[in-house]
Structure 1
């Protein structure tokens, strides 16, 4: 499977996704950030898009209360993972693993990365990869280093690839500081790539570990 890993700007529609789908022959699935899908109406539209293009879609959306929720859509257009975001300091919500055909996919929503080491235990057996949609970029170099270090430990513990991406714009609680992030770490803990302040999309071949920029 080839996975498109995107760093879009925030938008009310799905324009960047639709634009990138014009190159649909290059990938089989897409990973977009937390909150990329603006509302519940757009979720229904995205299900139709996933079905039309026969793509697995991994992202997150905002509900009517402006709360972030997890979202994964099968290429048939069926939602295969949907849940609330886990509370900080609490346990990782279940389900955080979804099955898509012959793939077992782990899912961590933004700050849930800090709950993943313990939280995925009992939910994760043999994962093909872990997806990590992030809302906005890192608010400091220290946070950037901490999240990459944590992702590395998760990859090594569960012996699987972990891939994360944020929006290209916006900042945590509008603090004005944002380091856009996109990364992929393999099952041994080795970085396949780590991108900062570079909003281009990547394509990761999950089988070979090869990457390329769009």
Structure 2
């Protein structure tokens, strides 16, 4: 299975997601940041179906609080997970793989909440904006590694390429992957290139 991990810029549309799918149509799963879809769910479902890809990331409902939600859309364009932020961690089985999903600072505030789920194949961690300091970068990387080891699962995170937290003048884009032993498959800091990961071979490529 090939995963496409993207770090798009914040946008009102989802043109960057569509462009990545057009350029990398052989991938099985696309992972994108928290909130990236905004309220463009209908368009995202159409893309998932048209490109035969599972989409995992986040969207927003601006009339709710908290507005951010975890989202997984299957290859048929069906929403199979839509969870409000800070609720219990959800797990979805797609194509024989059990996916867990945590959003942004849930990593720090609650980790995998609601009791550990057995035999997790992968936890996806969509992050909003970049890290606001080197110390935060290291903290989040180390927490992600601990979750991988504790739950014996791969964990993958990605943020937007731009944006800052509460007006901070520092924004460090981040993307990472740890295997179930806590070994780094890749860690990207201030490198917003698109990444393709073959989870069977652990091969990492940068398509552009």
TM-score (norm 2): 0.93
Q: Please list the CA deviations of residues 156-208 of structure 1 after superposition, one character each: whole Å capped at 9, or x if unmatched.
A: 11111100000000001122210000001111111111101111110111222
Please report the RMSD computed on the Cα atoms of aligned residues, expressed in angstroms: 1.4
Contact (CA 8 Å) 2:89, 2:102: kept in 1 or not? Answer: no
Matched, 1:96 2:94: no
| 1:85 is the counterpart of 2:78 | no
Match of 2:138 in 1: 145
Structure 1 residues without counterparts, runs of 5 or longer? 87-92
2:108 matched to 1:121?
no
In structure 2, runs of 5+ residues without a counterpart are none
Check 1:191–1:120 CA distance in 2 against 1; reply closer, same or farther (3 A cut). farther
Greater mean alpha carbon deviation, residues 54-63 or residues 107-116 = 107-116
Aligned-pair distance for 1:22? 1.3
SS at structure 1 position matched to 2:62: coil
Number of residue-to-residue matches in the alignment: 205
Whole-Å separation in 1 of the counterparts to 2:163 and 2:98: 31
Runs of 4+ with >3 A deviation: 115-118
8 A contact 2:70–2:103 mirrored in 1: yes
Which has the larger helix fraction?
A: 1
Equivalence for 1:43: 41
TM-superposed CA distance for 1:26, in Å, is 3.6
Task: State the 1:120 CA deviation.
Answer: 5.8
Give the aligned partner of residue 34 of structure 2: 34
What secondary structure, in the 3-state scheme, does the structure 2 residue paired with 1:110 have?
coil
Asked if the contact 1:24–1:53 (Cα under 8 Å) also holds between the matched residues in 2, the reply is: no
Query: Which residue matches 2:103?
Result: 109
Partner of 1:90: none
Deviation at residue 71 of structure 1 after TM alignment: 0.7
> Are 2:185 and 1:192 aligned?
yes
Aligned match of 2:22: 22
How far the C-alpha of 1:102 sits from its partner, in A, is 1.0
Task: Give the SS at the match of 1:49.
Answer: helix
1:14-73 CA distance string (max 9 Å, x none): 11111111133441110000010121xx11111111111110000101113271111110
